[in-house]
Amino acid sequence: MTTHLENTIRSVQPLDEPAMQAARSRQNELTKPPGSLGRLEALSIQIAGITGQPRPTLRRPAIVTLAADHGIARKGVSAFPIEVTAQMVLNFLRGGAGINVLARHIGAEVIVADLGVAVDLPPNDDLIVNKIGYGTRDFSVEPAMTREQARQSIEAGIRIAQAAIARGCDILGTGEMGIGNTTPSSAITAIFTGRPVREVTGRGSGVDDAGLSRKVAVIEAALALHQPNPADGLDVLSKVGGFEIGGLAGVMLGAAAARTPVVVDGFISGAAALIAASLAPAARDYMIAAHRSVEIGHRAIFDYLRLQPLLDLDLRLGEGTGAALGISICQAACKVLDEMATFAEAGVSNKEA
C-alpha cells in the first residue's frame, strides 16, 4: 500500500510551460521596456508556471506556522528555555506576534499547528493539534525521531497544506516556532550541502561565543554518531530533524502537488526545503525564497537549491515573517502582469523612433 507521502510526491509535476510562455509573451507586450521590472517579471512567469494560469491572481494568502520542541535544546544550544515555544504559540493565537502583525498587513490567514510542543496547550479552535510527540529526542545521544515519526510529520504538513488550499488559499508561506531549531537546521544543511558544520552554523536566537562553539561540537558529534544518508530525506529528518521541520517539508510538497506557490521563510524553512527537494526534486520549482537570513547556513541552502531570495533585510525571527513580506511581492508581480495595459490597449507605440 502506498503512503500519503508517496502519493503526494508522485503528484508533483513540472511547471506548466505553455502558461509560462503566455505570461512571458504578455510581459513583452506591456507598456514598459522589456525586462524593466526585473525580477518581478520572472517571478510572475514562475507563478504562471506553478498555477497553470497565464495571468495568475493571488487573493487569499496564508502563513502556515508549525510549532514543536527539540530534545537537543537541553544541551545549551539556545539562548532561550524550551518553555518559550508553548508561550509563543499562545501569543500567535492571541494575534500578538510579529507574524500576526505582518499577516494582517498583507491580509493573510495565520494557520497555527502543534506538531510536537513539549506540553499540552489549552484547547483553542484556532489551533491545529497534530502532535507527533512531546518534542524530539536529544539527537546528540539517539536519533531525534523514528523513521515512522518522520513520515508522519511530513504527512501532517501535507494535510495542513491541502486543507488550506481546499478552503481557497492560493499562496502559502512557511513559518515555525521551536526553541533550539536552528541546531537541527544546521545539521540538515551540513548533510545535504556537504559544507563543514562550522560554515553553516550561526548564533540562532543569540547564543554567545561559548554557546556557538558548543552548538557546533554537538552537531559534529551527532553527525559522526548517526551518519545520516543525504540520499534519503527521511533518514536525515529522523536522525537530526524536528517535527516542525518535517511538517514544513510536507507543506511544500502539498503545495507543489496542488500547483500552489509556496514562499519559503528563513533558515529553518530552508532546511525543510532541503528535505522536501530531496524527496521530490520537482518541488523546488514551486518554491519562492522570501529572504536571506543572517544565519550563515541560509546562503549554503540557496546555493544548493539554486534559489535567489527576494529580500535581504537581516531578518532572523522566523515565524513566517519573511514569508509574509515575500508574499506581498508575489502579489505585486502578478498584479503587474494581469492589470498593466499592453501597448495596444493603451494606444502607446512600442516602435523605436
pLDDT in tens, 290-315: 999 999 999 999 999 999 999 999 99
Say what the pLDDT of residue 352 is.
54
For the record, the C-alpha cell of 232 comes out as 534519503
The mean-pLDDT minimum among 117-131, 197-211, 215-229 falls in 197-211
HSE value, Cβ hemisphere, 13 Å, CA-based, for 316: 13
- Residue 11 burial (CB count, 10 A): 14
Residue 205: the pLDDT is 67
Q: Read off the pTM.
A: 0.95
Residues known to be catalytic: 319
Q: How far is CA 245 from CA 36, 39, 224, 237, in A?
A: 38, 29, 21, 8
Q: Which three cell numbers stand for residue 130?
A: 497534530
Sheet with 287-289: strands ordered across: 127-129, 109-116, 61-68, 171-177, 262-264, 287-289
Which position has the grid cell 518559550? Answer: 84
Q: Which domains does the chain have, with CATH numbers?
A: 4-56+337-346 (1.10.1610.10), 61-331 (3.40.50.10210)
